[in-house]
Amino acid sequence: MIEKINSLFSGMDGIIRTPGPSLGNLMESKKWVPYFIFILLTVMILSFVTFPYAADQMSEMLQDSNLADYFQDQDFDFRSLSLGQKMFVLIPELVFIFIVIGIGAFFTYLFFGIGGAEGLYINYFAIVTGASLIDIVFPKMVETVSLIFNVKLLGLLSPAVFISGADAKSFIHIFVSRFDIFSVWYTIAIALGIAYFSKLDIKKSMTISVIYLIFKALVISGFSFLFLSMV
C-alpha cells in the first residue's frame, strides 16, 4: 500500500517536473485509477474546507440573480446545511469531474487522432486524468486560498485581468479568462505527453493541443455566457 502511494506521488512529481515522459508513460500503462481517486479525494476535502466561504458567495449570487424571486429567505442560508445535505451538494461536483475528464479525453483523442497520433481512447483517458492534476487540483487549491482569505487569486492568473472595463459576464471576458496559467500549462503537458507516447513531432503535437484549447475555450465560454445571461 505504501509502495503504491509512493509510486503515485512520484508519478505526480514527474507530471510537474517532466510532463512529457511521465504523462507518456502513464498513457502507455493506462494506470489512471490512482490519479483519479486522488483528484476526487482532494477536491472533496477542499470543497468541505471551503464550504462555509463558498456558501456565502452562493447566497449572494442567488440573491442578486433573477432566480431570487423563486426562493424564500431561509433558502439562502447554506451555512446551516447538515453533513448529509452538504454531501448532496458536493457529490454532483465529483460526478461532474468524471464527466469533464471523460469528455476531455474524447475530444483529445478526436483531435490528436485526426492529427495522426497513435493510441486508443483509454490511452487518452489516462493522460487526461493524470494531467487533470494541473487543470483541476491546482486551480482548486488556489480557489481554496482565495475563498479563505477573500482574495481573487484565480483572476490574477488569467490574461482577463488585463482587460480593463470589460464586464465579467461578457463573452470576451469569459473567453480570455479560459487561458489562465493552469490551462496553458495543461495544454503544454498534454502535447508533450502525447508526443512522447506516439512519437509525434513536438511542434505538430503542440499545434493540435493549442487548437483544441481554443476550441474548448470557445465551447465553454459559449455555455457560460448563455448561463450567466439567464441568471
Amino acid 79: pLDDT:
55
Residues 6+ apart with CB under 8 A from 159: 176, 177, 179, 180
Closest CA to 14 of 23, 5, 4, 6: 23
Amino acid 55: pLDDT:
63
CA 116 to chain centre: 26
Q: What DSSP letter does each residue of 161-195 carry, written as one string?
A: GG-TT--TTSHHHHHHHTS-HHHHHHHHHHHHHHH
Give the DSSP H/E element, type plus range, for residue 32: none
Residues 6+ apart with CB under 8 A from 224: 174
Amino acid 51: pLDDT:
78
Question: For every one of its 231 residues, what pLDDT tens digit does the chain have, with 9 covering 90 and above?
Answer: 788 889 999 999 999 999 999 999 999 999 999 999 999 999 999 988 887 776 666 655 555 555 445 455 444 455 566 666 666 767 888 899 999 999 999 999 999 999 999 999 999 999 999 999 999 999 999 989 988 888 877 777 888 777 766 677 788 988 999 999 999 999 999 999 999 999 999 999 999 999 999 999 999 999 988 877 776
Query: The whole model's pTM is what?
Result: 0.87
Q: What DSSP letter does each residue of 64-133 carry, written as one string?
A: TSTTGGGS-GGGG-GGG--HHHHHHHHHHHHHHHHHHHHHHHHHHHHHHHHTT----HHHHHHHHHHHHI
Q: Is residue 130 classed exposed, middle or buried when 0-12, 13-18 and 19+ CB atoms within 10 A define those classes? A: buried
Q: Judge whether 86 and 48 are in contact, CB under 8 Å.
A: yes
How many residues are listed for the chain in this entry?
Answer: 231
Report the SS3 class of residue 41: helix
Domain that holds residue 205: 2-230
Amino acid 76: pLDDT:
45
Q: Judge whether 190 and 167 are in contact, CB under 8 Å.
A: no
Q: How many separate domains does the chain show?
A: 1
Closest CA to 180 of 203, 207, 162: 162
Closest CA to 27 of 95, 98, 117: 117
Closest CA to 176 of 194, 157, 192, 196: 157
Amino acid 1: pLDDT:
75
